[in-house]
Amino acid sequence: MIPETGGGRFFFRSRHEGRRSSCVMHKNLQDAVVKANKECPKLMKLTVPILIETVLSIALGFVDVFMLSRYDDLAASGAGAANQVLTVMSMVFLVFSSSGGILIAQYLGADQKENSSRAAALSLVLHLLSGILVSLVIFIFGGQFLKFIGAADMVFTYASKYLKIVGSFLFLQAVSAALGVIIRCHGKAKEPMIVAMGVNVLNIVLDFLLVPTMGVEGVAMATVIGRAVGVVALAVILFVKVEKPSIFRLLLPWPGRELKQVFKLGVPSAAETFLYHLSQLIITSLVMWNLTEAELVAKTYMSNIAALFLLFSVSVGQAAQIVVGHKVGSGDFDGAKKEGFRAFRLALIISASTVVVGILLRHPIISCFTGNPEVIHHAEVIFLVEFFLECGRAGNLTFIPCLRGAGDVKFPTLWAIFSNMIIGLGGAQLLAINFGLGIHGLWVAMALDELFRAVVMFFRWRSSKWKNKQVTK
């Protein structure tokens, strides 16, 4: 006799009925598995390799800093200062990588292969040209940039050496970004991940060989060599498995319409990211000018820890942008909408669970960085606020890429202007400085900014007003 619930009560079936029920349950389970495999694999197939690739990229930065710290602490600081300049300058490439990904994904979804290939060729050319231009600017004005951000004495000397080498070859990073976007838009995310693994191993080996004798210049050379090898590997993958070298013929005559779309889609997308980084830079200046040394240290540690919490959200958001682009390109708006909400649920569950684990282990985690009781106290309080911040960030890191994938790029930027500057910065000034809540008020303001924008983006995605932004229509 097999107990079963029904209408809130238990009743009993015969053994024969039990076996039949078991078969039905088994079939339902099989159907559910088949359905899940049909619905989720494309999103997860892209998310997991992108996540691994992102983790590898962060790990590579840690290795570089670790190797330089064994050589000279000031050398590590110099490389860090140079990387701030490189990060800002490389945001130029966001204009082309974001718009290129949107165009390619939608054209592929619409089965417009020639248009997709033309967009890919245009993306590669624009990345190369902008990369060369930025490299020249850094080569000529790199020293002035470093002085502007406050680098001085030996830090300036080390930073100049690093920036001169890595900055002069920044076009390699631009081309690598373009190649990766094109390959992933064709549903091949494992290949860039494997290339990233190889580049990481090569970079680590070169660090061990070059840093002891060459210092910061050794790390810079290892970075450049690794990127060059990565570009060659990605180019081989692209022109063997995805496209043909002849795609560049599609740029004759020059595709003025596609170029206009690139800027129309890319500039707002890049502006949204730039506004976020700008607000974070201003918030950092607020900390440095108005808060205590212990609060500054706590912010430094918690910012690095928080970077681990958002890794999955970033990865699933990038994957969702590709999937949504394909769906919108094919005219499957309902499917695109479901993929967006599915991506949000995945990001929210994983991010929230990770933060909860962090909250439970917050004391031993912070104690790994410092023994200062004041810093530990500030960080433990921040951990609690971090839960709400990451819930909001999970929404922004998924819904905003989904809106971009659908071609709706202006809406997130307009709301970013309001939320970042009014709620984020205004709230930071009000809570942290005027109300005297310090670093805790600062984190509350950042959480409110993320939550507010997440709610706005949720309703925008739910409203389906993004349907008329389709590029391929």
The end-to-end CA distance of the chain, in Å, is 60
pLDDT in tens, 269-287: 888 888 887 777 777 667 6
The pLDDT of residue 34 is above 50: no
351 CB-side CA count, 13 A: 30
**Is there a single domain that holds both residue 219 and residue 309?**
no
Same domain, yes or no, for 75 and 14? Answer: no
What is the C-alpha separation between 21 and 26, in angstroms, rounded?
Answer: 8
239 located within any domain = yes
Confidence of residue 296 (pLDDT cuts 50, 70, 90): confident
Residue 366 belongs to some domain of the structure = yes
Read out DSSP for 316-347?
Answer: HHHHHHHHHHHHHHTT-HHHHHHHHHHHHHHH
Amino acid at the residue 429? Q
Specify the number of domains making up the chain: 3
Please tell me the pTM assigned to this model. 0.82
The mean-pLDDT minimum among 235-249, 324-338, 361-375, 452-466 falls in: 361-375
- The number of beta carbons lying within 10 Å of the beta carbon of residue 298 is 30
The boundaries of the domain holding residue 25 are 2-31
CA atoms within 13 A on the CB side of 12: 4
pLDDT at res. 26: 44
Residue 176 in contact with residue 230, Cβ under 8 Å? Answer: yes
Q: Let me know if residue 205 belongs to a domain.
A: yes
In three-state secondary structure terms, 3 is strand
Give the pLDDT confidence score for residue 152 in this predicted structure: 78
Mean pLDDT of 401-416: 93
pLDDT category of residue 41 using cuts at 50, 70 and 90: low
- Which strand (E) or helix (H) includes residue 12? strand 9-13
Say if residue 220 is in the same domain as residue 293: no
Task: Report which of residues 109 and 80 the model is more confident about.
Answer: 109
Residue 148 covered by a domain: yes
pLDDT digits (tens, 9 = 90+) for 147-175: 876 777 888 898 899 999 999 999 999 99
The verdict on residue 37 lying in a domain is no
244 and 299 both lie in a single domain: no
Q: Do 314 and 211 fall within a single domain?
A: no
Q: Is it the case that residue 103 has pLDDT exceeding 90? A: yes
One DSSP character per residue, 283-314 reads HHHHHHHHS-HHHHHHHHHHHHHHHHHTHHHH
- Asked, for residue 8, whether it belongs to a domain, the answer is yes
Q: Which of 40-44, 140-144, 392-396 bottoms out in mean pLDDT, i.e. has the lowest?
A: 40-44
Q: Are residues 222 and 313 in the same domain?
A: no
- Are residues 81 and 226 both part of a single domain? yes
441 and 330 share one domain: yes
> What is the average pLDDT value for the chain, to the nearest integer?
85
pLDDT tens per residue across span 350-368: 999 999 999 999 999 888 8
Shared domain check, 61 and 19: no
Residue 294 sits in the same domain as residue 348: yes
Q: What is the pLDDT of residue 19?
A: 41
Q: Give me the pLDDT at residue 18, please.
A: 43
Domain boundary among 208, 235, 254: 254
Instruction: Report how far apart, in Å, the C-alpha atoms of 457 and of each of 401, 419, 470 are.
Output: 10, 12, 18
Residue 284 lies in a domain: no
Domain co-membership, 14 together with 63: no
Residue 91 maps to a domain: yes
13's enclosing H/E stretch is strand 9-13
Q: Is 142 left (phi over 0), alpha (psi -120 to 50) or beta?
A: alpha
Q: Are 404 and 102 in contact (CB under 8 A)?
A: yes
Percentage of the chain beyond pLDDT 90 is 56
Residue 344 has pLDDT above 90, yes or no: yes
Task: Name the band, by pLDDT with cuts 50, 70 and 90, for residue 24.
Answer: very low
Does 384 share its domain with 435?
yes
